[in-house]
Amino acid sequence: MVKKTKRVLIIPVGIYQERVWKSIVRSGAQRIHLIWDSKPEYSITEKVAKELRKRVSETLMAGVIESNADFSDVEDIYRVLICSIERERSEDPFVEIALDTTSTTKEAWHVISNLADAYGYAISYVPGIQKMSEETVRKRYGLEKDDSGGEVEIFLPTLSMPTGNPLSDSEASVLCKIGGRTYNSVTDLIEELAKEAGLDKVIDAYEKKFLRVVRDLEEKRLLIGAKANGRTKSIQLTREGRGIAKGLSEAKICLEEKPVSYDVSSSDSRDQDARTNSAR
């Protein structure tokens, strides 16, 4: 008997409630991640998420996990999405995941595009059909025309890798080890990794392996930044790297405390949401 592949839908929740609901219904997902915006001025998105959760529990055979993130912060978006993805993949490496962009920010669009390409996942989107009136457009223009914006954001195509080939275990371990720290040299990092692996000294094969891993994370994945430090170079994670490392760590903690379950009776789980808040 062929085992049926599980389906998961991950949704950043904005204000387009009915459009997001259509995406949920059409997905046929057995688990739905509803991620609302953590900024106080967007508290309405939490209310939307809870209304969607209620409708799912009343009408669909699906579990729900709520969490939150600052959807104007690229690092935080990577964190919450990587946590959701890796949590599901740990249960089933062949899980079918779709990332929804119906009601979210441009920053989230960028991150979702990167992750969908890296993992080989689908992106879902439900367009609106209501047209704005000329009066509404003029009002928005009046509100926005004098907003000069913040600093220019440069979005790099991080996680460049063959489609469907996400981070290796070695790459993930390096990201989590560096975390928010700065290492004075790659050698210092490798020595710490070797010690944690129970090695008395760093052997050539081990050193070459992790030199290659760090080089790939810096030059190909763009998740490590390096700065000349005399004859060596110091390394630290980029904002994307920090977000991914946080997501990997949170997923591991959540799974240790409560493994993913596709039983609908578990749909009131708040563990990821609680983990998100406690990490802030």
Per-residue pLDDT of the chain (280 residues; tens, 9 = 90+): 556 689 999 999 999 999 999 999 999 999 999 999 999 999 999 999 999 999 999 999 899 999 999 999 999 999 999 999 999 999 998 999 999 999 999 999 999 999 998 888 999 999 998 888 888 889 888 888 888 888 877 766 666 655 556 789 999 999 999 999 999 999 999 999 999 999 999 999 999 999 999 999 999 888 999 998 888 899 999 999 999 999 999 999 988 876 655 444 444 444 444 444 444 4
The reply to whether 29 falls in a domain is yes
Q: Are residues 120 and 256 in the same domain?
A: yes
- Report pLDDT for 232: 85
Q: Are residues 18 and 54 in the same domain?
A: yes
Q: Are residues 17 and 107 in the same domain?
A: yes
- Report pLDDT for 204: 94
Q: Are residues 258 and 123 in the same domain?
A: yes
Q: Are residues 37 and 68 in the same domain?
A: yes
CA distance 217 to 204: 20
Angle (CA) 257-262-264 rounded to 5° is: 105
**Domain boundaries, position 175:** 169-237
Q: Is 87 exposed, middle or buried (0-12, 13-18, 19+ CB in 10 A)?
A: buried
Number of domains comprising the chain: 2
Match 């010690």 to its residue by tokens: 195
Domain CATH code at residue 77: 3.40.50.10770
CA distance 241 to 174: 10
CA distance 67 to 53: 12
The reply to whether 147 falls in a domain is no
CA dist 39 → 17, 26, 51 (Å): 18, 29, 19
| CB of 34 closer than 8 Å to CB of 53 | yes
- The alpha carbon torsion through 93, 110, 273, 83 (nearest 10 deg) reads 30
Match 């119906």 to its residue by tokens: 102
- Report pLDDT for 256: 82
